[in-house]
Amino acid sequence: MSQLDSTWSYVDDSKITPKGFLFAGISAGLKASNKKDLALILAPKGSIFSGMFTQSIVRASCVDMCEDRIKKNSGFLRAILINSGQANACTGNIGLQHFQIATAKIAELLGIKEDEVLMCSTGLIGVPIKINDLVKNLPNLVSDLKVNNLQNAAEAILTTDLTLKKVLIETIILGRKIKISGFAKGSGMIYPNMATMLAFLTCDAGIEKEEWDKMIAIAVKKSFNAISVDGETSTNDSFVGINAGERIDKRFFPIIQKGIDIVCQNLAKNIARDGEGANCLLEVLVQGAKNTNDAINVAKTICNSALVKTAIHGCDPNWGRIISAAGNSGVKFNLNDVDLHIGNDQILEKGKLNKYDPQKVKDYIKSKMKGRYLVDDIVQIMINLNTGESKGTAWGCDLSKKYVEINSEYTT
Amino acid sequence: MSQLDSTWSYVDDSKITPKGFLFAGISAGLKASNKKDLALILAPKGSIFSGMFTQSIVRASCVDMCEDRIKKNSGFLRAILINSGQANACTGNIGLQHFQIATAKIAELLGIKEDEVLMCSTGLIGVPIKINDLVKNLPNLVSDLKVNNLQNAAEAILTTDLTLKKVLIETIILGRKIKISGFAKGSGMIYPNMATMLAFLTCDAGIEKEEWDKMIAIAVKKSFNAISVDGETSTNDSFVGINAGERIDKRFFPIIQKGIDIVCQNLAKNIARDGEGANCLLEVLVQGAKNTNDAINVAKTICNSALVKTAIHGCDPNWGRIISAAGNSGVKFNLNDVDLHIGNDQILEKGKLNKYDPQKVKDYIKSKMKGRYLVDDIVQIMINLNTGESKGTAWGCDLSKKYVEINSEYTT
CB contacts of A400 in chain B (<8 Å) are: 404, 408
Decide which of B250, B273, B296 is a domain's last residue: B273
* Interface contact A326-B58, CB threshold 8 A: yes
- Position A229 scores a pLDDT of 67
Nearest to B307 among A189, A331, A411 (CB): A189
Tell me the C-alpha distance between A94 and A126, whole Å: 11
User: Looking at the structure, do residues B383 and B257 belong to the same domain, yes or no?
Assistant: no
- Position A90 scores a pLDDT of 82
Residue of A nearest to B321 (CA): A193
* Interface contact B314-A409, CB threshold 8 A: yes
CB contacts of A280 in chain B (<8 Å) are: none
| CB atoms closer than 10 angstroms to residue A284 | 28
User: Looking at the structure, do residues A63 and A184 belong to the same domain, yes or no?
Assistant: yes
How close B170 gets to chain A, by Cα (Å)?
37
Residue A261 pLDDT more than 80?
yes
User: How far is CA B291 from its chain centroid?
Assistant: 23
Pairing of strands A339-342, A378-384: antiparallel
Question: CB of A327 within 8 A of CB of B57?
Answer: yes
The catalytic site residues of A sit at 196
User: Looking at the structure, do residues B286 and B230 belong to the same domain, yes or no?
Assistant: no
Residue of A nearest to B333 (CA): A57
Tell me the C-alpha distance between B352 and B350, whole Å: 6
Give the 3-state DSSP-derived string for A59-89, with helices as H, strands as E and coil as C.
CCHHHHHHHHHHHHCCCECCEEEEEEEECCC
Q: In terms of C-beta density within 10 A (0-12 exposed, 13-18 middle, 19 or more buried), how is residue B364 classed? A: middle
The answer for B 48-67 residues in CB contact with A (under 8 A) is 55-59
- Position A352 scores a pLDDT of 86
* Interface contact A404-B400, CB threshold 8 A: yes
CB contacts of A336 in chain B (<8 Å) are: 92
Measured N-to-C along each axis, helices A319-327 and A306-313 cross at an angle, to the nearest 10 degrees, of 160
User: Looking at the structure, do residues B128 and B90 belong to the same domain, yes or no?
Assistant: yes
Measured distance between the N- and C-terminal CA atoms of chain A, rounded to whole angstroms: 46
Q: What are phi and psi of A168, to 5 degrees?
A: -135, 125
Q: Under DSSP, is residue B228 helix (H, G, I), strand (E, B) or coil?
A: coil
**Facing residues of B24 across strands?**
B40
How close A157 gets to chain B, by Cα (Å)?
20
Q: Under DSSP, is residue A247 helix (H, G, I), strand (E, B) or coil?
A: strand
DSSP label at residue B18:
S
Element (H, E) at A379: strand A378-384
Nearest to A307 among B323, B325, B407 (CB): B407
- How many domains does chain A divide into? 2
* Interface contact B335-A90, CB threshold 8 A: yes
User: Looking at the structure, do residues B165 and B197 belong to the same domain, yes or no?
Assistant: yes
Question: CB of B50 within 8 A of CB of B256?
Answer: no
Largest CA distance in chain B: 69
Residue of A nearest to B347 (CA): A126
CB contacts of B327 in chain A (<8 Å) are: 56-59, 233, 235
Residue of B nearest to A361 (CA): B412
Count of CB contacts below 8 A, A vs B? Answer: 197
Nearest to A92 among B320, B329, B352 (CB): B352
- The answer to whether B339 contacts chain A (CB < 8 Å) is no
ipTM for the whole complex = 0.76
* Closest C-alpha among A30, A241, A244 to residue A147: A244
The answer for A 15-44 residues in CB contact with B (under 8 A) is none
Question: CB of A187 within 8 A of CB of A275?
Answer: yes
Decide which of B273, B305, B329 is a domain's last residue: B273
User: Looking at the structure, do residues A247 and A316 belong to the same domain, yes or no?
Assistant: no
- Position B374 scores a pLDDT of 52
Q: Under DSSP, is residue A184 helix (H, G, I), strand (E, B) or coil?
A: strand
Tell me the C-alpha distance between A67 and A61, whole Å: 10
Nearest to A56 among B230, B313, B328 (CB): B328
Question: CB of A126 within 8 A of CB of A88?
Answer: no
Tell me the C-alpha distance between B153 and B26, whole Å: 8
Q: Enumerate residues 6+ apart whose C-beta is below 8 A from A131.
A: A98, A101, A102
- Position A2 scores a pLDDT of 42
* Interface contact A400-B405, CB threshold 8 A: no
Nearest to A58 among B59, B125, B324 (CB): B324
* Interface contact B403-A310, CB threshold 8 A: yes
Question: CB of A40 within 8 A of CB of A23?
Answer: yes
* Interface contact A324-B59, CB threshold 8 A: no
Residue A214 Rama label (left phi>0; alpha psi -120 to 50; beta): alpha
Tell me the C-alpha distance between B15 and A123, whole Å: 58
User: Looking at the structure, do residues B146 and B179 belong to the same domain, yes or no?
Assistant: yes
- The answer to whether A411 contacts chain B (CB < 8 Å) is yes
Distances (CA, A) of A386 to A26, A298, A302, B54: 52, 13, 17, 23
Residue of B nearest to A405 (CA): B401
Name the pLDDT band for A153 (thresholds 50, 70, 90): very high
Decide which of A238, A273, A308 is a domain's last residue: A273
Measured N-to-C along each axis, helices A292-303 and A306-313 cross at an angle, to the nearest 10 degrees, of 60
- The answer to whether A7 contacts chain B (CB < 8 Å) is no
- The answer to whether A160 contacts chain B (CB < 8 Å) is no
* Closest C-alpha among A115, A55, A113, A125 to residue A86: A125
- Position B393 scores a pLDDT of 94
The answer for A 273-302 residues in CB contact with B (under 8 A) is none
Residue A323 pLDDT more than 60?
yes
Among A407, A409, A410, A411, most B C-beta atoms within 10 A, so best to mutate, is A407
- The answer to whether B405 contacts chain A (CB < 8 Å) is yes
| Region A337-361 average pLDDT | 93
Whichever domain contains B330, its CATH number is: 3.10.20.340
User: Looking at the structure, do residues B17 and B153 belong to the same domain, yes or no?
Assistant: yes
Tell me the C-alpha distance between B121 and B96, whole Å: 12
Distances (CA, A) of A264 to A54, A217, A236, A267, B139: 16, 11, 18, 5, 64
Name the pLDDT band for A147 (thresholds 50, 70, 90): very high
Largest CA distance in chain A: 69
Q: Under DSSP, is residue A363 helix (H, G, I), strand (E, B) or coil?
A: helix
User: Looking at the structure, do residues B259 and B359 belong to the same domain, yes or no?
Assistant: no
Q: Under DSSP, is residue A197 helix (H, G, I), strand (E, B) or coil?
A: coil
Q: What's the domain range around A243?
A: 3-273
Residue A383 pLDDT more than 70?
yes
User: Looking at the structure, do residues A157 and A176 belong to the same domain, yes or no?
Assistant: yes
Nearest to A314 among B398, B401, B410 (CB): B410
Q: Enumerate residues 6+ apart whose C-beta is below 8 A from B107.
A: B79, B113, B114, B116, B117
User: Looking at the structure, do residues B316 and B365 belong to the same domain, yes or no?
Assistant: yes
* Closest C-alpha among A31, A134, A127 to residue A88: A127
- The answer to whether B397 contacts chain A (CB < 8 Å) is no
Side by side, which strands form the sheet with B238-243? Answer: B3-4, B8-10, B165-173, B176-185, B198-203, B238-243, B48-53
Residue range A181-235, pLDDT digits in tens: 999 998 755 433 445 788 899 999 999 999 999 999 999 999 888 887 666 667 7
* Interface contact B316-A59, CB threshold 8 A: no
**Facing residues of A41 across strands?**
A23, A80
Q: What are phi and psi of A115, to 5 degrees?
A: -85, 10
Tell me the C-alpha distance between A103 and A122, whole Å: 16
Distances (CA, A) of A174 to A8, A178, A179: 14, 10, 14
* Interface contact A305-B232, CB threshold 8 A: yes
- Position A412 scores a pLDDT of 32
CB contacts of B358 in chain A (<8 Å) are: 412
Whichever domain contains B148, its CATH number is: 3.60.70.12
- The answer to whether B128 contacts chain A (CB < 8 Å) is no
Nearest to B235 among A324, A401, A411 (CB): A324
Task: Give pLDDT tens digits along chain B (412 positions).
Answer: 344 445 899 988 888 899 999 999 999 999 988 899 999 999 999 999 999 988 887 888 899 999 999 999 999 999 999 999 998 888 888 999 999 999 999 999 999 999 999 999 998 888 899 999 999 999 999 999 999 999 999 999 998 788 899 999 999 998 999 999 999 998 755 433 445 788 999 999 999 999 999 999 999 999 888 887 666 667 788 899 999 999 999 999 999 999 999 999 989 888 888 887 888 899 999 999 999 999 999 999 999 888 899 999 999 988 988 998 898 888 999 988 999 999 999 999 998 888 899 999 999 999 888 665 555 789 999 999 999 999 999 998 898 888 888 778 643 3
User: Looking at the structure, do residues A268 and A291 belong to the same domain, yes or no?
Assistant: no
* Closest C-alpha among B185, B147, B177, B140 to residue B29: B140
How close B312 gets to chain A, by Cα (Å)?
7
- The answer to whether B192 contacts chain A (CB < 8 Å) is yes
- The answer to whether A350 contacts chain B (CB < 8 Å) is no
Measured distance between the N- and C-terminal CA atoms of chain B, rounded to whole angstroms: 47
| Region A284-299 average pLDDT | 95
- Position B353 scores a pLDDT of 86
| CB atoms closer than 10 angstroms to residue B353 | 16
- Mean of per-residue pLDDT scores for chain A: 89
Question: CB of A125 within 8 A of CB of B327?
Answer: no
DSSP assignment string, B141-199: HHHT-BTT-HHHHHHHT-SS-SS-EEEEEEEEETTEEEEEEEEEE--SS-SSSEE--EE
* Interface contact A307-B191, CB threshold 8 A: yes
